[in-house]
Amino acid sequence: MQNTTGTWSVTNRKAAIGLYALAVFFFWGSQYIYLPTLPTYLQSKVIDLSWVGFVLSMYGLWQALVRIPLGIAADWWGRRKPFLIVGLALGAWGAWILGTSNDLIGLTLGRAITGVSTGVWVVLVV
């Protein structure tokens, strides 16, 4: 006899919670694993410290700009998984751009993309 909650069995529910926890770990790991060294790395690429601050601020700016529209779009469309997959891919792409760029434009773009990626998080938690 198997316990069920709604249409999910207890085993399936535990597996789903485990996968959710794993996805959360990898998502936030991709966003913050390089963060302790990012200001020093940026300073080695850009001479002026004000530009380092500018590049770092792109994360919060783009996260704030896309969070509400993405939440509305996910509710309107009724599907969350495509947003999450794109968000994870954007996090990886933004980190790659940050790691391979040698100029201010590339560094700013990479940090902005990681901000958009984090803005996608809203569709998972709401």
Q: What is the pLDDT of residues 35-67, one digit of tens each?
A: 888 888 888 888 788 999 999 999 999 999 999
Per residue in 66-81, pLDDT (tens digit) is 999 988 888 888 888 8
Query: Which of 124, 125, 119 has its CA nearest to residue 68?
Result: 119
Burial class (CB in 10 A: 0-12, 13-18, 19+), 56: middle
Residue 3's pLDDT is 53
Residue 117's pLDDT is 92
Domain ranges of the chain: 34-125
> CA-CA distances (angstroms) from residue 33 to 14, 17, 30, 46, 47?
27, 23, 6, 21, 24
